Amino acid sequence: MISIFCLGWLVSFLGQLPLGTMSITSTHIAVNEGFKNAWKYAFGVAIIEIVYLRFVLYGVDGIMQHHFFFMLLGWLTVLFFLGFGIASFVIAIKHKGKKKSPLLDNKIGRFWLGITMSALNPAQIPFWFIWSTYLINLHVLHSSFAEFNVFTAGCGTGTITGLALYMYGGNWVVNKLNASSKALDIFMGIIFFIAAAVQFYRMMWGKFL
């Protein structure tokens, strides 16, 4: 069970390392609002990832039948990323004082922000489908309730650990380089535009699931 937990942690932790909207947002929150809100955001992200993983482990075939739901969610993700990308550049251009980026300039609890952003990232489903199928085929992970629970707990912990790396590491880099809020807004805008472009490609020409 310990090895299964560690395996789940490792897969999820490595999955969080590539720079993306989730990770850079955790850095942004840590820099602008402190680590308390960043941790709330990380837990929100992890909860939805755990839910998606449980869906995959209990039968991805049933999930795939709800094709319309995932198509709608995919297009909403494109609009969401594109909107925040544009807003980030607008804020950067009109930057005055310490005005927050559009992603943080709201009254949404950071825990709920993490839940929302994670829910609008259905790419987690094929990611976990591939990994869980691979591990089950290798007989490393077995189709049992106990092992699925331990594996899921490890994955949730790995997600939080990966985001924590961006919280503290990103905060250290920003302070070390003395980066301005305007530079962070521009960087956030670029990341959101890239994410929107990737998601648009997947919806139009790629295999969404």
The string of pLDDT tens digits covering residues 13-62 is 888 877 777 888 888 888 888 899 999 999 999 998 888 888 888 765 45
Q: What is the pLDDT of residue 61?
A: 44
Q: Which of 117, 108, 98, 86 is nearest to 190 (CA)?
A: 86
**Which of the pair, 98 or 128, is modelled with greater confidence?**
128
Cα-based distances in Å from 123 to 42, 104, 132, 202 = 18, 23, 14, 10
Mean pLDDT along residues 83-103: 67
Residue 64 has pLDDT above 50, yes or no: no
Residue 103 has pLDDT above 70, yes or no: no
Mean pLDDT along residues 67-80: 71
Top mean pLDDT of 24-33, 45-54, 78-87, 88-97 is at 45-54
Number of independent structural domains in the chain: 1
Q: What is the pLDDT of residue 141?
A: 82
Mean pLDDT along residues 8-13: 88
3-state secondary structure 79-125: HHHHHHHHHHHHHHHCCCCCCCCCCCCCCCCHHHHHHHHHHCCCCHH
Q: What is the pLDDT of residue 42?
A: 92
Q: Is the dihedral of CA 188, 116, 204, 125 positive or negative?
A: positive
Q: In whole angstroms, what is the distance from residue 203 CA to residue 205 CA?
A: 6
Q: What is the pLDDT of residue 209?
A: 44
**Which of the pair, 26 or 100, is modelled with greater confidence?**
26
Mean pLDDT along residues 70-99: 70
Instruction: Write b or e for each residue in 108-132: b if 16 or more Cβ atoms lie within 10 A of its Cβ, otherwise e.
Output: eebbebbbebbbbbbbbbebbbebb
Residue 12 has pLDDT above 80, yes or no: yes
Identify whether the C-beta of residue 105 lies closer than 8 Å to the C-beta of residue 99: yes
**59 Rama sector, left if φ>0, alpha if ψ -120 to 50, beta otherwise:** left
Q: What is the pLDDT of residue 177?
A: 66
Whether 59 is covered by a domain: the verdict is: yes
Whether 16 is covered by a domain: the verdict is: yes
Mean pLDDT along residues 181-187: 69
One-letter amino acid of 101: S
| 188: containing domain | 2-204
- 131-177 pLDDT, tens digit per residue, is 777 777 677 887 778 888 899 999 999 999 999 998 998 888 777 76
- 118-142 pLDDT, tens digit per residue, is 887 767 777 787 777 777 767 788 7
Q: In whole angstroms, what is the distance from residue 125 CA to residue 41 CA?
A: 20
Whether 209 is covered by a domain: the verdict is: no
Residue 173's H or E segment, with its range, is helix 145-177
Q: Give the pTM.
A: 0.68
Burial of 60 (0-12, 13-18, 19+ CB in 10 A): middle
Q: What is the pLDDT of residue 40?
A: 92
